[in-house]
Amino acid sequence: MKLDRIEARNIPDTRGKPTVEVTLHADELSATASVPSGKSTGSHEAKELRDADGGVETAVANVTGEIAREIALRDFASADELDTFLIALDNTPDKSRLGANAILGVSIAAQRLFAQEAGVPLWKAIAERAKTAPGAPRLYVNVINGGVHADFRLPFQEYILVCEGKTSSALATARAAFEKLGAELGDVPMGDEGGYSPTFDTLEKPFELLAALVAEHSGTSIAIDAAANELRNGRGEYTLLGKDYTAAELTSIYGSIVERFPMHSIEDPFSEDATQDFARLTDALRGKCLVVGDDFTVTNPERIEAAREAGAITAVLIKPNQIGSVKEAIEAVQATHAAGWAAICSHRSGETDDTFISDFAYGVGAHGIKAGGLGQKQRLEKYERLLEIEKEAV
């Protein structure tokens, strides 16, 4: 395929911060993609290129300048070939030269174009490329926001209702539960990811509320994202609700949460390089609750492989913008599956209308998709895209 026109621009994300949007043209085909942006980011993520003022003008200029120029000279046989070319063009280990946001925008738009050219839905093109069996992911619906996404009104970043089954029935369950909880909580602010953001003075309270929802709805369970990188207190410990905890103390807190509540998974229970702490918790919770790497693994096949050698986790969060190309996000899924672990595909806390992650999660047959709460349009769109896929896939 020859790309004959490449456009890029900045658009606001859900926090009103600028992010990159790319449009590619090839003959009469065209495709657009936009890139999400995280707030509780891992230090090992690919680099999102930001100007000194927080803008993305340099990243946009890299797409319309160097990337457009180089791509115009070539003919690409596949989206994979284009990604390989972009990765080599950037030529840094973390995409810091051209920017992971610039490269991923082109990479996603290209995946869309190649799917159009082949005349198949996006999720199907991804499944063929990844050699995976497509299928509906569990919905990880954020119901309560804490951590950096909610000014630390609660210590853990996300309290999630995991809904199993067909997307249409899982989403109906999530809607009923989300509404019920909203009525119970009354007038509380919304967090960054479209979940409620109340304040409680005990660690248990959100778990009690979620456990009540689980008791009412079959096929549901609880997940949390502790996002423990953000809980570090600079003295090698973690601070939760004003109290300091060692990793060992935190391990026993997680253990008692899993004993008391219907838990499905715990994400980033410790800081991003605490491999041994992850491994100890994974051993303690084996067969009872998944331990998920996010900032720990950053969608990086090499870090996933290292985690596998250490037996550190049992599931991996997959965020394409942590690694900066569709190709490498697929490789991260493949490394996760090779380890026998669950892949959970995820949006970012700063989102756009782009629903690529829904097609990606379905295409790779992910264990789950984290797409946020039901209180924000850009999160709902991801779930609605999954509903469309459910119809396309019959």
- Smaller CB separation from ligand PGA, 43 or 92: 43
Provide φ and ψ at 164, rounded to 5°: -95, 165
Calpha distance 8→34 (Å, rounded):
9
Member of 3, 49, 162, 227 binding ligand PGA (CB under 6 A): 227
| Edge-first strand listing for the sheet containing 18-26 | 5-12, 18-26, 29-34
Calpha distance 333→138 (Å, rounded):
16
- Smaller CB separation from Zn ion, 128 or 151: 151
359: partner contacted, choices Zn ion, ligand PGA, none (Cβ within 5-8 A by kind): none
Q: Is 271 in the site for ligand PGA (CB under 6 A)?
A: no
- Shortest Cβ 392–Zn ion spacing (Å): 29
* 230: annotated active-site residue: no
- Shortest Cβ 294–ligand PGA spacing (Å): 5
- Smaller CB separation from Zn ion, 220 or 299: 299
Q: Is 354 in the site for Zn ion (CB under 5 A)?
A: no
Closest CA to 84 of 99, 66, 103: 103
The DSSP code for 196 is: B
Calpha distance 24→19 (Å, rounded):
17
Residues in binding contact with ligand PGA, number by CB under 6 A: 11
38: partner contacted, choices Zn ion, ligand PGA, none (Cβ within 5-8 A by kind): ligand PGA
Q: Is 230 in the site for Zn ion (CB under 5 A)?
A: no
Q: Is 21 in the site for ligand PGA (CB under 6 A)?
A: no
- Shortest Cβ 314–ligand PGA spacing (Å): 17
Closest CA to 74 of 88, 53, 56: 88
- Smaller CB separation from Zn ion, 79 or 285: 285
Q: Is 378 in the site for ligand PGA (CB under 6 A)?
A: no
CB atoms within 10 A of CB 143: 26
Q: Is 349 in the site for ligand PGA (CB under 6 A)?
A: yes
- Shortest Cβ 113–ligand PGA spacing (Å): 27
What binding mask, one character per residue, do residues 157-196 give for ligand PGA by CB under 6 A, x or -?
x---------------------------------------
346: partner contacted, choices Zn ion, ligand PGA, none (Cβ within 5-8 A by kind): ligand PGA
- Shortest Cβ 227–ligand PGA spacing (Å): 5
Calpha distance 359→134 (Å, rounded):
10
Return the structure tokens found at 193. Answer: 């990811």
Closest CA to 278 of 290, 264, 287, 261: 290
Whether 210 and 225 have beta carbons less than 8 Å apart is answered as no
Whether 124 and 11 have beta carbons less than 8 Å apart is answered as no
What binding mask, one character per residue, do residues 284-323 give for Zn ion by CB under 5 A, x or -?
----------x-----------------------------
Member of 13, 48, 90, 225 binding Zn ion (CB under 5 A): 225
Stretch that binds ligand PGA, among 16-24, 39-47, 232-240, 299-307 (CB under 6 A): 39-47
The DSSP code for 137 is: P
Q: Which long-range contacts (CB under 8 A, 24 or more apart) does 26-30 make?
A: 26/1, 26/2, 26/113, 26/117, 29/113, 29/116, 29/117, 30/113
Member of 225, 272, 277, 359 binding ligand PGA (CB under 6 A): 225
Stretch that binds ligand PGA, among 26-34, 36-44, 109-117, 122-130 (CB under 6 A): 36-44
Calpha distance 50→47 (Å, rounded):
9
Calpha distance 269→48 (Å, rounded):
25
Whether 165 and 219 have beta carbons less than 8 Å apart is answered as yes
The length of the chain is 394
Return the structure tokens found at 285. Answer: 């919770």
- Smaller CB separation from ligand PGA, 83 or 192: 192
Q: Which residue has its beta carbon closest to ligand PGA?
A: 38
Calpha distance 266→268 (Å, rounded):
7
Return the structure tokens found at 90. Answer: 């950037």
Member of 83, 90, 277, 294 binding ligand PGA (CB under 6 A): 294
Footprint (CB under 5 A) of Zn ion, residues 237-266:
none
Whose tokens are 């004959």? That residue is 4
* 319: annotated active-site residue: yes
Tell me which of 319, 327, 370, 382 is the catalytic residue: 319
Residues making contact with Zn ion (CB under 5 A): 225, 294
| Catalytic residue list | 193, 319
Binding site for ligand PGA (CB under 6 A): 38-41, 157, 225, 227, 294, 346, 348-349
